Each structure stands twice: as structure tokens, then as C-alpha cells.
Amino acid sequence: MQTATAPAIPANRQKFYDRLSPKAMAPLWEVLKGLVPEQPKSKFAPHVWKFAEARPLLMEAGDLLTAEEAERRVLVLENPAMPGGSRITATMYAGYQLIMPGEIAPAHRHTASALRMVLEGNGGYTAVAGELTEMKRGDLVITPAMTWHDHGQKEQKPVIWVDGLDLHMVNFYEAAFMDHFNDKTQIMSKPQGHSDAMFGSGLGPMQPFSPFGQTSPIFNYSFSKARPALMQVAGANPPDAHLGHALRYVNPQDGGWAMPTIATWLTHLPKGFETKAMRSTDGRTIVVLEGEITIEADGKTFTAGESDVAGIPSWVWTKVRASKDAIYFSFSDRAAQEKLGIYREERK
């Protein structure tokens, strides 16, 4: 098979280009195809990280260094097509984080927004902006941009969750800041459950205000509320052919996504149900909470069980089948793409 070669650049043009380079200029007509492709072509690959393989390594890391030494003891989920990039998809960071009994991951804050999908709560906690919340399996805990946060465990079992951050978007804009608190933990200025009582009960303050800007004022979306809601919807409605039964996490202030840059949603697929093929411009991360799914993405097939994490690149045809009744959490940069007016999807 012969490979087409690019036509040789005429000598007079090349001389012209050689004069442009020292002046920090380049001819657009020579680079246009790379700048404006006909459609997205992701540099990333679909992949599944098995929790059964990650957990022993996490526990080994727990013996090697403390949470305080590490600041955040995390095994970063690096897309195999981009080693060393600390990316699960083009714009998202993800990792398994561990807090051991009696530990505190010290308080800090940063521009990047963060989410935690709890896998093993065991009485662990996160404190955000002066309010503590207990972490239970399946809870979505949000850390809004530039809010103080620390994590800890007072019980005698480890705490493990999946981190998701938009830090690659922030770093692209060269807009990242980070501060360390003057103590391991922040002072608790609000009672536990305060945010949920004020904003998550269907009621709200008489004079609305937004404590975290465009981010939801609810920072713990508990699985104990989310799962029954999802299953009640599933019991009353047929599944969407492409999405299954899916509910998104909502900001009660405006009805939009709970985070300004990261879309988050919960899906239920009954055993044997397979979604129709779909592709979208957001690179997606899936965390399986219950059951087992088979993912067909970009012509490759993967199986993901409880607490496994899957990364699906942008603009690859994807189908998901439930080998067992399944519930899984997804996050992506769709929220940011929608605000920028560039989100796009296709369905078969």
C-alpha cells in the first residue's frame, strides 16, 4: 500500500516561509487543515480502570506516606494515550483518593472546581467553606472554585472516592491560583446540613443569594435521595433509547448544571438493556456504583463493574449495555461546552 506524500513546497515559497519564521509569523494556508479539522479527532483512547486493581495500590500508598505529606494522596487516572498528562479525557482530571483512619488532608483552595464521587465513605467527611458533610457511598460532593476544603476520617476504616476536576480547562486559560490554609482544618462556622436545609428542601431564602457564584449552593447531593428518585423515574417511564434512565444534578438557583464547567448525571440501565449508538463532543468519565456494564466505544469493548472508572473520549460512537441492573455516575465538560455554544451530539 502506497502512502500519499505531500507535494513539495516550491523553492520561492519556502524562501518566503524561512523569512517569516524569525519574525514569529507563519502562513495560515500551510497549517489551516490542522487548525480547523472537518470533525473532532480525539488524541485520547477509551479505557477502564479496575477498582480491584487500584484499591491494593491505594492501600500500599497509604503505608508509604501520610495524607499530610502528600497533601492529597491520589492515584491519578492517566489516559493510556497520553501518559504523564494527568488527564482522563482532554479537559478532565480524575483519580482515586484515599484517606486513612485518623488522617486529615489539610485545608487548601484553588481555582479549579472539584467533585468527589464517594466509593467507600465509612464515616469520613469533607469540610467546604466552614460546613462539614459526612461522605457516604454514591454521594456527589462538590468543592466550588476557591472555597476552602479539607477531608478527614475519625473512624477506623479508610475513605476512598473518585476525584474529578476541571483543572486542565483552568490551566489552558493560565488562570490557576492556589492557597494553603493556616491550619490543617478550617473552623466550622455552619452546622452540618445547613446548605441542604437552606437550598435543597424545595424552599429557599426570601432574598436569594449565591454563596458559590455559578456553582450550586448544595455541595453534597446524597445518594440516599438520588437513588430513590432515579428508580422511581425508571419505574414510571420507559428508558430513553440512547440515555437509558438518566437524571442530572441540578443547581437549584437556576435549574442548570450543578457546576458551571462540569456536567454531572446519574444513569440506571435495567439488565439486558443496551443504549443505541451516540457520540458527543464532551469527553465523558463513568463511575459504576451498582451492577455491571459493557461499553462499546470507538470499536473497542470494555466491561466495568462496581467502583470501576471508564474514560470515553470526545466524538466516538458509544453504546452501553447492562450485564446486570446498573447505576452509574457520569461527568464531563458538557456544561462548559454548552456555555461556549460548541456542544454537539449525534445519535443513530
- From first to last of its 348 residues, the chain has per-residue pLDDT tens of 455 567 788 999 999 999 999 999 999 999 898 899 999 999 999 999 999 999 999 999 999 998 888 889 999 999 999 999 999 999 999 999 999 999 999 999 999 999 999 999 989 999 999 999 999 999 999 999 999 999 999 899 999 999 999 999 999 999 999 999 988 888 899 999 999 999 998 888 999 899 999 999 999 999 999 999 999 999 999 999 999 999 999 999 999 999 999 999 999 999 999 999 999 999 999 999 999 999 999 999 999 999 999 999 999 999 999 999 999 999 999 999 999 999 999 999
pLDDT given for residue 187 in this prediction: 87
Amino acid residing at 176? A
List, as one string, the DSSP characters of 99-113: E-TT-EEEEEEESS-
pLDDT given for residue 34 in this prediction: 86
CATH number of 47-347: 2.60.120.10
Residue given cell 436545609 in the structure block: 197
pLDDT given for residue 2 in this prediction: 52
pLDDT given for residue 3 in this prediction: 54
pLDDT given for residue 244 in this prediction: 98
List, as one string, the DSSP characters of 132-187: EEE--TT-EEEE-TT--EEEE--SSS-EEEEEEE-HHHHHHTT---EEE-SSSS--
Q: Measured between alpha carbons, how far is 336 from 54 in angstroms, rounded to an integer?
A: 30
pLDDT given for residue 1 in this prediction: 44
What is the pTM (predicted TM-score) of this model? Answer: 0.94
pLDDT given for residue 67 in this prediction: 86
Domain ranges of the chain: 47-347
pLDDT given for residue 129 in this prediction: 94
pLDDT given for residue 68 in this prediction: 84
Are the beta carbons of 271 and 324 closer than 8 angstroms?
A: yes
pLDDT given for residue 4 in this prediction: 59
Are the beta carbons of 281 and 316 closer than 8 angstroms?
A: no
